[in-house]
Amino acid sequence: GQLRREAISLSINRDQITDTIFSGTRTPAVDFTSPVVDGFNDSLEGSDILTYDPDRAADLWAQADAISPWEGTFAIAYNSDGGHQTWVDAVTNSIKNTLGIDAEGAPYPDFASLRTEVTDRTITTAFRTGWQADYPGLYNFLAPIYATGAGSNDGDYSNPEFDSLLSQAAAASDVDTANGLLDQAQEILLTDLPAIPLWYSNVTGGYGESVDNVVFGWNSVPLYYAVTKN
């Protein structure tokens, strides 16, 4: 399973998809958090697993096939009411062309029907998801999604070493120490790949000529108190 997860991640051309499909309004992911929060590290050990490397992907897939030959179609479930079809098609095409397997999107009529199967653990394919943190900290991108038994841990991921690092980070006496521990936790995620990060959403906004000093916060919302009228 790990070999196949690594191969799938390496077979996705994030640079091409974010440029072509999203017109640069997304940035390829290099970790499990966000570049707008304190402590973000774009040089984590193992982050190369999130780069496009078709030769390495094909080799890993072949190693997995030597253990248990692949059969069937790799599918990514998504909600049709969210505008996801285009990028899901691009991702599955990238996987298909790189690995030489059948890959396709699996559309659900709406978000609720997709989430029902995810929550009930009845879904049988890979599926899209996204995350907006509640506060600008690395911890809030990791603990709610990947800690054992966490409320948004859709894949039921569990790693005692990862959980221990989260606990140590939460108890740390300063932010730098906490962020260092969370970097170590992320390096575990980059090895286990309980999910495959794709990209970060960039801020897209505009404002009229009658105002100035328009700045967007970490959560992509304008800081209205800072706006001035010309």
- What pLDDT is recorded for position 169? 98
- pLDDT band for 148, please (50, 70, 90 cuts): very high
Residue (of 222, 189, 218, 219) closest to 49 by Cα position = 189
- Residues 14-35, mean pLDDT to the nearest whole number: 97
d(CA 187, CA 131): 19
- Residues 64-88, mean pLDDT to the nearest whole number: 97
Q: Which residues are bridge partners to 107 per DSSP?
A: 78
Q: Report pTM.
A: 0.94
d(CA 35, CA 133): 12
- Residues 89-107, mean pLDDT to the nearest whole number: 98
- What pLDDT is recorded for position 125? 97
Residue (of 100, 118, 94) closest to 198 by Cα position = 94
Q: Which helix (H) or strand (E) holds 165?
A: helix 160-171
Exposed/middle/buried for 126, CB within 10 Å: 0-12, 13-18, 19+? buried
Q: Is-contact 189 146, C-beta < 8 A?
A: yes
Give the pLDDT confidence of 84-95 residue by residue, as tens digits: 999 999 999 999
Q: Which residues contact 159 (CB under 8 A, 6 or more apart)?
A: 148, 188, 192
The DSSP secondary structure of 188-209, one letter per residue, reads HHHHH-SS---EEEPP-----T
